[in-house]
Amino acid sequence: MSNLHVFSDNKSFVNGSAEFIAECAARALDERGRFTIALSGGGTPRPIYARLADAEFQQRIDWTRTHIFFGDERCVPPDDTRSNYRMARETLFDHAPIPSENIYRIRGEDDPALAALMYEQEIQRLFRASSPPAFDLILLGMGENGHTASLFPGTAALREKTRWVVPQYVEVMQTWRVTFTAPLINAARQVAFLAEGAGKAQMLWNVLKGPYQPDVLPSQLIQPTRGELHWLVDAAAAEKVNAQ
């Protein structure tokens, strides 16, 4: 069962998403003494991460007990304009008191297979887990082709059942990526898609209301085993889903 949160405009979408994240953090810190989150990349989260760096939100999260991962990364150096890490650093890490040892970067500059293996081992070390660990919150975007993280239509990563993090060459993007797999994402306590703008309206309908075809619509793979699935969207993205 997924929870659809529709925000009337961009400002309330950004505020509402930051509020959702802060509430997840407070709950995790209260219940378990730490907050583990995986960030999504792309453009949608930029203002949300910047909002978390504002004093109002920054003071609500205990960054010393917050561990920040990435759900995927482009295989580029960390200072490359395409890097999801760079985007998060520019919007959040450079503006909040987050201990550097609490930020777990996917080494996009390394060989993709090695970077994926090293990242999976880092997750195992932090969670001391042998089966997919439960992140408190995994943020995801949804591409206009239905991909999420770097789980793109027709790729082998969609069918990964045991690995938590894999490398994937994405033909349509002519680039390598490193991505969380569906088994790891679906182990999370909370998964929240962030989608905004009219450009996502049809795909949101396809994913939520259309036939189940995860090889074409990888976002449909995301069905948390025990956790909660949330969609945080603005009215423009929700237009078609709300129409029926």
Residue 42 binds ligand 6PG (CB under 6 A)? yes
Site string for ligand 6PG, 53-72 (x = CB under 6 A): -------------------x
CA distance 214 to 172: 17
Residue 40 binds ligand 6PG (CB under 6 A)? yes
For residue 87, the minimal CB distance to ligand 6PG (Å) is 9
Residue 112 binds ligand 6PG (CB under 6 A)? no
The residue (of 63 and 176) whose beta carbon lies closer to ligand 6PG is 176
Asked if residues 15 and 51 have their Cβ atoms less than 8 Å apart, the reply is yes
Residue 46: which H helix or E strand, with range?
Answer: helix 46-52
Residue 44 binds ligand 6PG (CB under 6 A)? yes
Judged by CB under 6 A, the residue of 66, 148, 155, 219 near ligand 6PG is: 148
The residue (of 67 and 177) whose beta carbon lies closer to ligand 6PG is 177
Residue 217 binds ligand 6PG (CB under 6 A)? no
For residue 111, the minimal CB distance to ligand 6PG (Å) is 19
Burial class (CB in 10 A: 0-12, 13-18, 19+), 78: middle
The residue (of 34 and 183) whose beta carbon lies closer to ligand 6PG is 183
User: Any bridge partners for residue 147, and if so which?
Assistant: none
CA distance 81 to 69: 19
DSSP string of 77-142, one letter each residue: -TTSTT-HHHHHHHHTGGGS---GGGB----TTS-HHHHHHHHHHHHHHHHT-SS----SEEEEE-
Q: How many residues bind ligand 6PG (CB under 6 A)?
A: 15
CA torsion through residues 17, 23, 25, 27, sign: negative
* Candidate segments 53-61, 93-101, 146-154, 205-213, binder of ligand 6PG by CB under 6 A: 146-154
Residue 168 binds ligand 6PG (CB under 6 A)? no
Q: What is the CA angle 74-25-14, rounded to 5?
A: 65
Position with the least CB separation from ligand 6PG: 141
Residue 238 CB neighbours (<10 A) = 22
> Contact positions toward ligand 6PG, by CB under 6 A?
40-44, 72, 74, 84, 141-143, 147-150
